[in-house]
A and B are shown apart, each in its own frame.
Chain A
C-alpha cells in the first residue's frame, strides 16, 4: 500500500506542502472570503429588520388613523344628535308659545264678541220692553181702562222675564 510507505521522502514533503497550502487557505478564507459573506449576510439581515420595522410602523400609523377616524365619526354623530334634539326642543317651545298666544287672542276676541252680543241683546230687550209697554198702554187706552204706568211696566217686565226663561 503506497500510503504506508513512510520511507518515501515525498511523504514528508507532501505533508509540509499540505501545512503550507492548508494554512494559506485558512488565512485567505478567514481574512478575505468569509468576512465578505458575513458582511453580505449582515447587510441583508439589517435590511430585512429595517423593512420589517418600517412595515410595523406603517401598520401602527394606519391603526392610529383608523382609530382617530372612528373617534371623529362618533364625535360628529353625537354633535349632530345634540343639535337635532336642541332644535326639536326649541321648535316645541316656540310652537307652544305661539299656540298660547293664539289661544289668548282668540279668548279675548270671544269675550269681546260675547260682550257685544250681550249688549246688543240687552239693548234689544230694553227696546222690546219699551215697545211692549207702549203697546200695552195703547191697548189699555183703547179698552178705556186706565191703569197707572208703573203697574203696566211691572207687568211687562214680569212677562218678559218669564218669556226669557
Chain B
C-alpha cells in the first residue's frame, strides 16, 4: 500500500472512507468518526472506571484520572481565573479529545482525525463562537471596545482597529492550522521513512543493513510524535483558555 512501484505515497493515509458496511456508508460514517468514538469511549472509561474506587489514597488508574482533571483544572483557573471554572468541562473535553486523537493516530493502521483541517477548524470555530458569545453576553457593546484599547491615541484608530479585528479573526485559523500542520507533518515523515525502510530493504544484499538507518530515524520520530501529540493538545487547550480570559476580562 505504501509502496506502489517506486513512488512514495505518504498521503493516502489521510483519505476518508466509510466503515460499518452499507449502514455506515448510507450515513457517511467514516473511519475518522470511528476513531473519534473510540477516543471518546476511552476518555469516558478512563474517567469513570478510574474513579470507581473513590479511594482517599488513589491507586494508579485513579491517579491518572485525577491528574488529568487537576492538570486542566489548574490550567483553566490559572489562565481564566476562578470565574473560568464553568468553562472547565469544555476545555477538558477539548484537550482530552485532541490528545486521544493524536495518540490514537500513532498506532499502526489507525486514522488520525486531527490531521484533517476541516476537523481542527470545526473545533477552532466552536472555540471562536464560544469566546465571542461569552464576551458579548458578559460585556454587551463594551465587547467592541476590545478592538480599540482604552488610552490609545484616537488618530491611531484607523490602524489599530483593523489590526485588532484581523488578529481576532485569525485566531481560529492559526489554532486549526497549527494542530493540523503538526499532525500531518509528523505522519507524512513517519510514512516517508517507513517507505524508505521497505525500499532500501529490497536493494539486494546490502539493502537490509542500509534500511536500519531510516528505521532508527522512525523509532526516534515516534518518540518525538508522542511529545508533539501531547504538546499540540496542550497548546490548543491553553490558547482556548487565554482566549476565554480575554473574553471574560476584555484585556
Residues of A whose CB lies within 8 Å of any CB of B are 1-4, 6, 8-19, 21-22, 24-26, 28-30, 32-34, 36-38, 40-41, 43-44, 47
Is B118's beta carbon under 8 Å from chain A? Answer: yes
Annotate B115-129 by CB proximity to A: 1 below 8 A, 0 otherwise.
Answer: 111110011001000
The reply to whether the CB of B97 lies closer than 8 angstroms to some CB of chain A is yes
Q: Which of A17, A38, A44 contacts B29 (CB 8 A)?
A: A17
Closest approach, in angstroms, between the C-beta of A53 and any C-beta of chain B?
A: 16
Task: Tell me the interface secondary structure of chain B in the complex.
Answer: helix
Cβ–Cβ < 8 Å partners of B70 in chain A: 41
Beta-carbon contact of A10 and B89 below 8 Å: no
Residue of B nearest to A38 (CB): B69
Cross-chain contact B47 with A2 (CB below 8 angstroms): no
Question: Separation in Å of the A2 CB from the closest CB of chain B?
Answer: 4
- Selected contact of B51 from candidates A4, A12, A33, CB within 8 Å: A33
Q: Say yes or no for B209: interface residue by CB 8 A criterion.
A: no
Interface of B with A (CB < 8 Å)?
A: 11-12, 14-18, 27-30, 32-33, 36-37, 40, 43-44, 47-48, 51, 54-56, 62, 65-66, 69-70, 88-90, 92-93, 96-97, 113, 115-119, 122-123, 126, 180, 184
Q: Is the CB of B93 within 8 A of A25?
A: yes
A5 → chain B closest CB, angstroms: 8
In the docked arrangement, what's the CA distance between A79 and B48, Å? 69
Contact check, A28 vs B66: say whether CB atoms are below 8 A apart.
no
- Least CB distance from A155 to B in Å reads 133
Q: When the two chains form their complex, are residues B93 and A10 in contact, meaning their CB atoms are under 8 A apart? A: no
> For residue B55, which residue of chain A has the nearest CB?
A40
